[in-house]
Amino acid sequence: MDPLALIEDYLSDQENGMKKLITGFLNQVMLAEALQQAGAAQYERTDARKAHRNGYKDRSLKTRYGETILRKPQFREFSFETQVFGRYARVEKALVNAIVESYLQGVSTRRVQEIVSHLGIDQLSPASVSRMAKDLDDQVQAFLLRPIEQAIPYLFVDASYYKIRDGARYVTKAVLVVAGVREDGYREILGARVTDCENEEFWSGLFEDLKERGLAGVQLVISDGHTGIQKAAEAAFLGASWQMCQVHCTRAVLRNIPRKHQKEVVEGLKEAYGNEQRLQDLADDLNARGYRKAANTIERFLPGLMSYTAFPKQHGKRIRTTNMMERVNKELKRRTKVVGAFPNEESLLRLVGSILMDINEEWVTGRRYLTMEKE
C-alpha cells in the first residue's frame, strides 16, 4: 500500500480513492490479526509460532463506497478469524433486511426493487429474511441490554424521527438515544428505544431501564429544550443538573428575530453564553427592541444555560452542546436513508441498533473524549 499513490487517487477521484484506502487499510488490519493469531511474522523462525501461512482468499465486502475485494489470510493448522467482515456485515445485514422486508410485503417502489437487485438479494425468501432478522435482533438486544459498568458523569440525550409504514399510511416514530461520557473519559452509547413521541413518559421509562442496568453517577444531563426530557431527568437523576444545548437555544431565539438582525443576535449570544448577567442584559435589550418572544426564550432557558460552568473548564466546550449527539443522529440518517419508510418498528430498531453498535465500538476503542479531573 503506497501512501503517495493513495493520496493521488483520492485527489483525482475521491470516491474511488476512498474505496482503495479502505481496501488497503482493512487488508492491513487482517495482516495484523494474522500476526497475532500465528504468533509470528511470515517466514519468521520462532518457538512461539502457532500456525503457518497458506496464502490468501479473496473476499468481497460491500461498503458505502461500493464493493471492495479484500485478501483474507489463510492458515494451514486452523481457520483464520477476523473481525473485519463481521463488523461490516452487521450493518449491511440490517440494511438489507429492512429493504427486503418491504420488498416481500409488496410495498416497495421501483427504486427499492432496483436496490434489491443491485445488492443481489432478489432471491431471498421470507424464511431466510426471518433468520437474518433473528440473528441481528439477538445482537442488538444484547447490546442494548448489557450492564453499564462505569459511572457516567455526563449524560447526553436526543431523539430523531423516522417514517414507518402502518398499513396504507405512514406514521412518524421517534428513536430516543442516550449516550454518556464515562468516568474514564471515554464515550459510550448507553441505550436506544423506538417510541411514538419523546414526551416525559417515554424518557422516564428509558431512564429507569438504564438505572436498572447500572447507570449511576450522573452529574449533568445535556439535551435540547424539550420539556419532557427536562422533567424526566429531574425525577430520574436527583442531584444532577440540566444543561440546555447552546446551539438549540440559539436556534430557538432566532425563530423570533427578523433575518436582517439574526447575525447580530448570534454574535451577542456567543459573547453572553457562560455569563448570566450578560444573558439577562441581552434578553432585556431584545425585549426593549420589541422582540419579546426572543427575550422570553433566553429567560426561560437561562438557569439551564449556566450549568456547565460548574464543571471543569476544559470540559466546557464539549458539555455545553449536544453536538456529540447531533453527529450520531446525522450518521443514523445518512445510513438509513436508502430504506425510506421502514416496514415496522422492529426493522427500524434493528438497523439503528446495528449502526449504534458500530459507533460505540469506535468510541470505546478510539481516543479519550475528555481528560477527567481526577487524572
**Please, what's the b/e burial string for 222-237 (b: 16 or more CB within 10 A of its CB; e: otherwise)?**
bbbbbebbbbbbeebb
Higher pLDDT, residue 102 or 354: 354
pTM of the model: 0.70
pLDDT for 112: 42
Residue 42 near residue 92 (C-beta atoms within 8 A): no
Distance (Å, whole) CA 261 – CA 264: 6
pLDDT single digits (tens) 191-229? 999 998 888 999 999 999 999 999 999 999 999 988 899
Q: Which three cell numbers stand for residue 69?
A: 475485494
Residue 63 has pLDDT above 70, yes or no: no
pLDDT single digits (tens) 10-35? 555 556 766 777 777 778 878 888 88
| Of the candidate ranges 61-70, 315-324, 333-342, the one whose mean pLDDT is the lowest | 61-70
Sorting pLDDT into bands at 50, 70 and 90, what band is 351? confident
| Of the candidate ranges 135-139, 169-173, 296-300, 358-362, the one whose mean pLDDT is the lowest | 135-139
Residue 145 near residue 172 (C-beta atoms within 8 A): no
pLDDT single digits (tens) 84-143? 776 555 665 665 556 555 543 433 344 444 544 544 444 445 565 566 667 778 888 999
Higher pLDDT, residue 318 or 106: 318
In which region does residue 108 sit, left (phi positive, over 0), alpha (psi from -120 to 50) or beta (all else)?
A: beta
| Strands, E assignment, the chain | 53-63, 66-75, 154-166, 169-181, 187-195, 220-223, 241-244
Amino acid of residue 181? V
Residue 238 CB-density burial (10 A; 0-12 exposed, 13-18 middle, 19+ buried): exposed
DSSP state of 1: -
Q: What is the mean pLDDT of residues 182-191?
A: 96
Calculate what percentage of the chain has a pLDDT beyond 90.
49
pLDDT for 106: 39
pLDDT single digits (tens) 249-297? 999 999 999 999 999 999 999 999 999 999 999 999 999 999 999 999 9
| Beta-bridge partner residues of 243 | 222
